[in-house]
Chain A
Amino acid sequence: MPHEAINFAKITAEAAARHAENGWPKQRDEAWRFTDLNAIREMTLAPAEVPSVTTESAPPQDAKDLIQFINGIPQGIDKVALKGVEIAPLSTDSARSSALAEAVPSGHSVADFALAHAKDGVVIAVADVGADAVAPPLTLRFDYRGDGISSHAVIVVDVAAGANLTILEEHKGDGVGLSAPLMLLRLGAGAELHHARRLIEGDSRHHLGLNLVQLDTGALYHGDMVLAGGDIARSETQIAMTAPDAKAYLNAVYLGRDGQMRDITSRIDHDAPDGQSFQRVHGILDGRAKAVFQGKVKVARYAQKTDGNQMSRTLLLSREAEANTKPELEIYADDVACSHGATIGEIDADQLFYLKSRGISTEDARQFLIEAFLVDVVDALDEPARGWLLEAIAAWLERG
């Protein structure tokens, strides 16, 4: 059994050793230039333990389409009953464990940290059940509780060739803690994954997440995210298009206030011809909040006819808020259409006055302009999950 050479326990042990040696990245590391992890470095954290199954932690009885994670540890995965979807522990799946180990970028401290203390991972395998039998969305609900706990969820999603899945992923909860979810999302030829995420954790939590996406020929990944919670919150997505004709959308709305940090990092590798990637990131910052959007698009020499677009817009509601954008286009092919654009601005005084001159209160006028600022990214959100994502935006705006 040669595949046992790299089992899950070995992967986590190696990651733990790397993280112990390397620690958290410093700001002199280019990928972390704008994100100061001192607050995390200074935390005393104990990895989450398997919770006792209480009424509180047990998922609802009828949760056929839900996996609940308490502090990153999945609960009752055997209850899920979606046509074509199989859920299993990762530790008993050495092939996928190996795939994960191979996919993790070397020296990536967030990935190492997630793996280091993961008790087990979850495999979500989706089969092609035919176009007329598309399963309802699978909800991944991450609940965080207690203080001084780090949560390590490791998930491998395999969408088979021609299969289609929608995931609604939510992270919420209070207490002082760190969430470090790691996901490997593998899409077979012609597969589709619609992946909507609401990151709405409490103000005292930190979140460092990494999603690794692998796209086969003609596969489509549609990632939509609202990042509206946590103190330091970073969401990183790496997409590898290793076969032709793959397509990816990455839409993100980030919202920050007080002294919060928002970090949206992406890397898209176009390693095959005819790939398309569309990124749209809109952020709103109030108070002393800071944010960075760093998006790298790399187009290999043979990845001709690549279409890569990136647009980032930030609205600053306070003079003390700070936004940084760092687009990086690395293009080696000569027949491509790649573009990026970035704007950072505040509420326009002329527009505000125009609305007020019609009797609309300052508060309502600002609301109009904030919602208007989000229109383009909201339009780009995947239809089925749009309302679900908009709820998270509305809740943040209501808190004022």
Chain B
Amino acid sequence: MPLLEIKNLHASVGDKPILQGINLTIKAGEIHAIMGPNGSGKSTLAYVLAGREGYEVTEGDICLDGESVLEMEADARARAGLFLAFQYPVELPGVGGMSFLRAAVNAKRLAQGADEVDHIAFVKIVREAAARLGIKDDMLKRAVNVGFSGGEKKRYEILQMALLEPSMAILDETDSGLDVDALRIVSEGVNALKNDAMGVLVITHYQRLLDYIIPDHVHILADGRVVKSGDKALALEVEKTGYGGFTDAA
């Protein structure tokens, strides 16, 4: 059974149709990349998958582990194993990082019938995971994403991914705003988390992230549709020729 199945997905924001019939199947253990020019619908796809309000599915279906998630709100989808690493992580002034991380982990554990995580043990788990991502202790004590640099925000996204252990991770332009060192740290973080039971969907404008997170499949998105699919070579082709040829084909 596929992990994530996107079937003839049409979606609108307001009255504006953005996604116009996307089909995509991701199996456990696979890394897929979606590439596309600005305005092709990449971020809309990420939000639609995560269940953001205001992004309305008008046709088609999204199935996680064979179950449609269309009727599920964002929080239920997350507890079911979906994770979205944000292109622009949101600052939460006044929300302490540790209590935020603990609430997220506990929400998932309770949904799985597990006990809430032990407070002391959790702090240790977070510190270790953070250290692997080069996240300093004082960042963990701050309010969520407040005063973080662009790179720190992206690392903090991957930290959340590490703690939530999703079955299906969607990385929305995780490379944007990262210098080479940060890109390497973030990519290594993702590669370390990747396992045979997990699917990854990498959404990106540029090829360079795919040098670090090697995709099994690459799809070109243009005008709300997947216009071409292939392997890693397709990403390199885009790097050379740009998106021009693909949008014309759409």
A: residues with CB less than 8 A from B are 349-351, 353-362, 364-365, 368-369, 371-376
Contacts and interface: CB of A to CB of B under 8 A. Distances in A.
B107 A353 contact: no
12 contacts: A349-B53, A354-B86, A355-B92, A355-B95, A356-B78, A357-B74, A357-B75, A357-B84, A359-B107, A359-B111, A360-B75, A376-B94
Contacts of A358: 75, 78, 100, 103-104, 107, 160, 164
Contact of B94 (A349, A362, A375): A375
Contacts of A360: 75, 103-104, 107
Interface in B130-160: 143, 160
Contacts of A374: 94
Interface centre among B51, B83, B95, B111 (most CB of A within 10 A): B95
Nearest to B80: A359
B237 interface: no
B73 A362 contact: yes
B92 A351 contact: yes
Given A356-B78, A358-B164, A359-B104, A351 B90 contact: yes
B92 A361 contact: no
Q: Range of interface residues on chain B?
A: 20 to 34
Interface in B15-70: 50-54
Nearest to A354: B90
Contacts of B75: 356-362, 365
B89 interface: yes
Nearest to A374: B94
Interface centre among A351, A355, A357, A359 (most CB of B within 10 A): A359
Given A353-B52, A353-B53, A359-B164, A368 B95 contact: yes
A257 B170 CA distance: 40
Contacts of B51: 356-357
Contacts of A368: 92, 95, 99-100, 103
B108 interface: yes
A196 to B, nearest CB: 22
Interface centre among A349, A350, A354, A376 (most CB of B within 10 A): A354
B223 to A, nearest CB: 26
A284 to B, nearest CB: 13
B79 interface: yes
Contact of B103 (A350, A364, A375, A376): A364
B132 to A, nearest CB: 20
